[in-house]
Structures are given as structure tokens and as C-alpha cells.
Amino acid sequence: MHLSTTVEKLTASEMSATFLVHLLRERMYWRLQNRLPEPDLVMQDQAQTQAFSQAGEEGGELAFLYLYNALHISTLLKPGDRVLDLACGPANQLLKVARLNPQVQLVGLDSSASMLHCAHHTLVQANIHNVKLIQGDMTRLVQFPNASLDAVYCTMSLHHLPDTNALSATLCEIRRVLTRQGRVYLVDFGRLKLRSTQHFFAHDLQQSPQFTQDYFNSLRAAFSVTELSVAATVLGLEVQRHVTLLAPFLVVFSSAPLGPLEAPVLQLAKETFTQLSTTQQSKFRGIVNWFRHSGYPLAGDIK
């Protein structure tokens, strides 16, 4: 796609001029930054946990992204599936997937005791009963036998791994625990070229100083698209890569959908969308269009 045509499409998608300037600078810059691993690989601090959890709650600044991911994940699930949420954190993503798929049995795994405590509270408050929480290491899924899971997803957590060896170990474990026809959905930040772009995205959500700093640290800790792609080869050729247009803000590795979203799932998703604030709805449309222009459409029109 020609660059001018790309810019026209993104401009028509309600993206701001400042946003587009950062994307264009990313596209034209040639040098990739070095990766800076997270200061705390496991989030145990109470202030950090609370800030992250609040950002993903129903009215939080990340609610739009959790809904977006939940819809893609839902296209990979069918009733009776056993599904793993890898590094589930405070269960904000897990909650949305569980609500949309009440006939699926979900397991949320996280290495942080404080995150799991928060996750338990999240699920109890929402009256969710199709989820089990366990503590564990995402690089060593010792709780799960070979070929014991129908699907595994991991949203915005791979960058917490210390290095590419840990990344490779995690994806090998995902492949091991999946059945032969098992499905996968992995999404995370890609490493951006410019510190100024990372700073822009970290401050764009206008959250608490604690959350903004953690967000910036996450962007700095992101693996490159190449590093993610090399590790993902173990998942097989049927898993496809999708990258946000012009700059790898987000990178997705996903199995092909099983089919269109079922009517009850789509209706509940529409109701969830209407409960988002006007700003959150706009951000949801933005991420849908950003990926759509890179050839990764969202199944089901809820907006």
C-alpha cells in the first residue's frame, strides 16, 4: 500500500494528527532501540497492582482493548473448551472472555500472588463461575499435561519475560499443552524505534503517574517483531501474524477463527460496547480500524 494512501485511510479512521505524525516518524526512522526489561518482572507491589487493575475495569482506560481482544478470542472458542489465560493479572481480560463464553472452562494463571488476589476479587464481584485461578510460571506450565488444552491466549504480558530464551520457552510450552487442533491468540506490544513515540503512547491514556510509568516501562521492554516471530515459529504455519499499520505498536499471533461470532456473544458484546464512555468507544473504533487497514478485520460489527 502506498504511504500516502495509508495516511489517508488512517486519517479517515479518526486518528489525530499528532498520532499520525508519530506513526510516520516511526515508519521513516531506521534504527531499532535496545530492549530494556521491566524493572520488576513480577508485579507484586500493591500500588502497581491497583493502578493496573483500575485501568482495566469497566470504566478504565484499557477497557476498550480488553473488549477488542475478547472478541477475537471468542472466535477461537466453542462450548466445552478448556482454555488458559496466560499471565491473567487482575482478571480484567479474563472476566470479559468468561462473560462472553459462559460454556467454556477457563483457567487463569499468574506468577504474582497479589495479582491473583485481585483477580479473585474481580471474578467474585462479577459473579463469574467458569474460571479457576492458579499460581504458576508461564515458562514452565507444569500444571498442564501435554495436549490438555483447547486454546491458550496471552494479552499484553509477554514483554514481562526477561529475555528471548524465556520467550521461546513460553511459546514452546504453549505448543506442548495445546491439543493438535488447539488454537492460540497472543497479543503484545512491539518494540517501537523512538523513545518519543513510547512516551506519547504512555501518556495518551492520561492515567495515574504510577500506571503511566509502568506503561512506559512496558513499551521499553517490548520484544521486536522479529524476536516475537522467531519464537512463534514453534506454533506452526497456521498461526498468522498481524501488526498495526506503519508502526508495530501491537503485534498479534492468532489461529484462524472457527467461524463467525454466535448471536448471543455478539449481542452481549454490543451491550458491553454501549457501556463504554464516548472516549473509550472512539479508542475501540480506532484500534479496529488500525488493524483492519493492515488486513486483520474484527469479526462481527458491534459499533
Where in the sequence is the domain holding 108, given as residue range(s)?
3-292
Say if 302 falls within a structural domain.
no
CA distance 206 to 149: 38
Residue 300 lies in a domain: no
Rounded distance, CA 231 to CA 216, Å? 24
Q: How many folded domains does the chain comprise?
A: 1
Q: Where are the beta strands (DSSP E) in the chain?
A: 82-86, 105-110, 131-135, 149-155, 178-189, 240-243, 250-254
What CATH number is attached to the domain comprising 142?
3.40.50.150
Summarised one tens digit per residue, pLDDT across range 148-175 is 999 999 999 999 999 999 999 999 999 9
In a domain, 13, yes or no: yes
33 inside domain: yes
Q: Which residue has the higher pLDDT, 176 or 41?
A: 176
**Res. 52: pLDDT tops 60:** no
Q: pLDDT tens for residues 187-208?
A: 999 999 999 999 999 988 766 7
pTM: 0.91
Q: Determine, yes or no, domain membership for 298.
A: no
81 to each of 27, 127, 152, 168, how far by Cα in Å? Answer: 40, 20, 10, 25
Report yes or no on 175 lying in a domain.
yes
Of 13-17, 147-151, 184-188, 253-257, give the lowest mean pLDDT range. 13-17
User: Is residue 299, in this structure, part of any structural domain at all?
Assistant: no
Tell me how far apart the alpha carbons of residues 132 and 74 are, in angstroms, rounded to a whole number. 18
DSSP state of 147: T
The residue that leads in pLDDT, 136 or 13, is 136
| Residue 203, in any domain of the structure | yes
